[in-house]
Structure 1
Amino acid sequence: MNDDPSTTFDPAPPPGFNRLPIRSGYGLSIGPLFERETADGGFIRAFRVGPHLTNTLNNCHGGMLMGFADVTFGHAISHRTGTNWITVRLLVDFIAGAPFGAWVEGTGRIVAASDSFRTVQGRIWSGETTIASGTGIFKVLTPR
């Protein structure tokens, strides 16, 4: 018997999600990441909790959830405006765990703008369970 979960892990997304074309950098270590557009013009980003993303409790590591929150909440800016951004502040409240194999989704929406700063509220969930919620402040840079 083989107890190595990486031999049976399938990161395949549900229908409608497309893999993000991440080719370098931090995104490679936390991926694969997926995305789909929503009917209201928004987006949902997602990933499956793989063996490289778990903690000793076999749940998604908090560092992964923070990284996912960063690239998901911040994407609320580039999704609407096509501009680059950097994170100024990110506050995330962890509410529940996401076990190995769980499909985790997240989104964000801009709730305030002042000069080159945007405040985004976001949520991360798996099924009906909210995993985390938070707020980010991002500085808008240049168009992509």
Structure 2
Amino acid sequence: MDSNPPDGFKPLFRTSPFLDHNGPFFYRENSDGTFVVGLRIQPKHANARGIAHGGLLMTLCDIALGYRTTRSQTPSPMLTTASVKTDFAGSAKLGDWVEAHVDVHKVGGRLAFANCYLMVGEERIVHASAVFARTGDRPAGTPS
């Protein structure tokens, strides 16, 4: 099955062995400087019922929440996930394109807070809220 993203999406700007194994993940920049993270559901992402595994959807939320929150400020804060609460309201089937839309609420001196909705088309299938511990700031020019 093809993982091709919709027009305007390109490979996620940062990767790791974990992301490579679970992806491929993509992103699209918005005109306001924010971005959306997306993933095409493939057979390797499915549970025994043939739909996207909840753990994969939670992973997508955590990736989008962290990257979007850390890139919401300059200099970019270094953040560690302290808590993610996830509520499932739907599912994603094989071949579905899933997008993670993040709202950053606050990045403070010690904690950061953000919400994420996973969307399949116009349907919200997951809501997640996260708290991050701020462990410092990245030096200018360091990739986030």
TM-score under structure 1 normalisation?
Answer: 0.87
- 1:1-144 paired onto structure 2 within 5 Å: 9-81=1-73, 82-141=76-135, 142-143=137-138, 144=142
Counting matched residue pairs gives 136
Identity %: 27
112-121 or 26-35: bigger deviation: 112-121
Amino acid in the other structure paired with 1:50 = Q
Q: Conserved in 2, the CA contact under 8 Å of 1:36 and 1:44?
A: yes
C-alpha displacement of 1:22: 4.7
SS in 1 for 2:61: helix
The residue identity in structure 1 corresponding to 2:67 is H
Q: Distance in 2 between matches of 1:84 and 1:25?
A: 20
Take 2:48 and 2:71, find their aligned partners in 1: how far apart are those partners? 35
Counterpart secondary structure, 2:118 = strand
Q: How large is the RMSD of aligned CA atoms in angstroms?
A: 1.4
Give ranges in structure 2 of 5+ residues lacking alignment: none
Structure 1 position 76, deviation (Å):
2.0
Report SS of the residue matched to 2:72.
Answer: helix
Question: Which deviations, in whole Å up to 9, do the C-alpha atoms of 1:78-124 show, x marking residues without a partner?
Answer: 22223331100000101101001100000212213432210101111
3-state SS in 1 of match to 2:71: helix
Residue 4 (structure 1) aligns with: none
- Which letter maps to 2:2? D
Note if contact 1:90-1:134 (Cα within 8 Å) is conserved in structure 2: yes
SS at match of 1:64: helix
Structure 1 unaligned segments of length 5 or more: list them.
1-8
Is the Cα–Cα contact under 8 Å of residues 99 and 118 in structure 2 kept in the other structure?
yes
Confirm or deny: 8 A CA contact 2:72 2:104 kept in the other structure.
no
* Inter-CA distance 40–87: structure 2 relative to 1 (3 Å threshold): same
